[in-house]
Amino acid sequence: MKALVVKRYGRPDQVAFADTPRPVPKPDDILVEVHAAGLNPIDTAIPKGTFKPILKLDLPATLGSDLAGIVVEVGSRVTRFKPGDAVFASIFDLGDTGALAEFARVPESAAALKPANLDFVQAASIPMVGLTSWQALKERAQLKPGQKAFIPAGSGGIGTFAIQLAKYLGAEVGTTTSTGNLDLVRSLGADEVVDYKKQQFEAVLKDYDAVLGTVRGDAIEKSLRILGPGSTIVSLIGPPDAAFARARGMNVVMTFLFGMLSRKIIGAAKARGASYSFLFVRPDGGQLAEIGKLLEAKRIRPVIDKVFPFDQAKEALAYLEQGRAKGKVVVQMR
């Protein structure tokens, strides 16, 4: 089958299409004919070797984390799905499987039925941003009605979903965006919108209960200034902390290193009466099914910037890496 693979880390010419064996489902897996694959920033970082210390991939490895498609085969222990079912899933961090391929092996536990009102492109845009938002805002920050959540970069892939989820959870939402995207983020439910080209968010916003760290640089440190007591910072971009290292079973050296990397921000957060933690999203079919219900009820809608055909998957990754997409970038196979 055709797949987009990374052969070696660090060189753009080592990402290429290849003929690879069609995956064989294990007893707890389903085999999915991929109709569309949603792209995420981590898909552009992995080929550079950025996550080499964390993600253990056997190269060459098929790229891609999110997919939507049709089940064509099920393992002997699978009970929730049957051939012909339309599903969507995140297979990020699940080893020797990737979404940018004609077929993908998907653990039953990672998949959910595709929302009936979404097409495959729309469904493929959801899994990682949906699960990340759910695990950060609902699970980690435990966002409650009446609280305030700061979700920067509101027009991006994660921002467009996280704003909507925070509003569903009953929170007031603040965000940042450029002048051209003000109407978009407001249409998603953002209450306080800061045009970052004209104002500094830390000079405008105040008394926030939760911050979702999505912007590199000094944005997390600046966000400390807008927090109220008992607040929470959940960072998706680091620095990783010792708790993350222990959860992944890393050795003492890596646990110590990550503890040192996060020591400054953890201390600064404590000084403000806040907590800091690093989140590395995990696939979860149960959570994805709950997200699917919200999509079917139209409480949340997909936001898609651009769709590329499969033979332009490398161009799609390059476009995503520019950082200007409004919502998600999706590769369509069929």
DSSP output for 160-216: HHHHHHHHHTT-EEEEEE-GGGHHHHHHTT-SEEEETTT--HHHH---EEEEEE---
3 state SS of 67: strand
CATH topology of domain 2-126+302-332: Quinone Oxidoreductase; Chain A, domain 1 (3.90.180)
Half-sphere exposure at residue 59, Cβ-oriented, CA atoms within 13 angstroms: 14
Sort strands 208-213 and 148-150 into parallel, antiparallel or unpaired: parallel
Q: What is the structure's pLDDT at 83? A: 98
What the block records as the tokens of 286 is 């149960």
pLDDT of 217 strictly over 90: no
Cα end-to-end distance, the chain, whole Å: 14
Cα pseudo-dihedral 281, 284, 290, 296, rounded to 10: 90
Percent with pLDDT over 90 in the chain: 90
Which pLDDT band holds residue 52 (cuts at 50, 70, 90)? confident
**Closest CA relative to residue 37, chosen from 314, 294, 236:** 314
pLDDT of 268 strictly over 90: yes
CATH number assigned to the domain with residue range 129-278, chosen from the 4 options 1.10.260.40, 3.90.470.20, 1.20.1050.10, 3.40.50.720: 3.40.50.720
Q: What is the structure's pLDDT at 244? A: 92
Q: Are 133 and 234 in contact (CB under 8 A)?
A: no
Residue 36 pairs in a beta bridge with 68, 332
Q: What is the structure's pLDDT at 78? A: 98
Looking only at Cα atoms, what is the longest distance across the chain?
A: 58
Which pLDDT band holds residue 312 (cuts at 50, 70, 90)? very high
Q: What is the structure's pLDDT at 326? A: 95
Domain boundaries, given as residue ranges, for the chain = 2-126+302-332, 129-278
Q: What is the structure's pLDDT at 274? A: 95
Neighbours of 289 (CB within 10 A): 15
Q: Token pair 């009820």 is at which residue?
A: 297
What are the pLDDT digits (tens) for 77-127?
999 999 999 999 999 998 778 999 999 999 999 999 999 999 999 999 999
Q: What is the structure's pLDDT at 54? A: 84
Q: What is the structure's pLDDT at 53? A: 78
Residue 87 pairs in a beta bridge with 69, 113
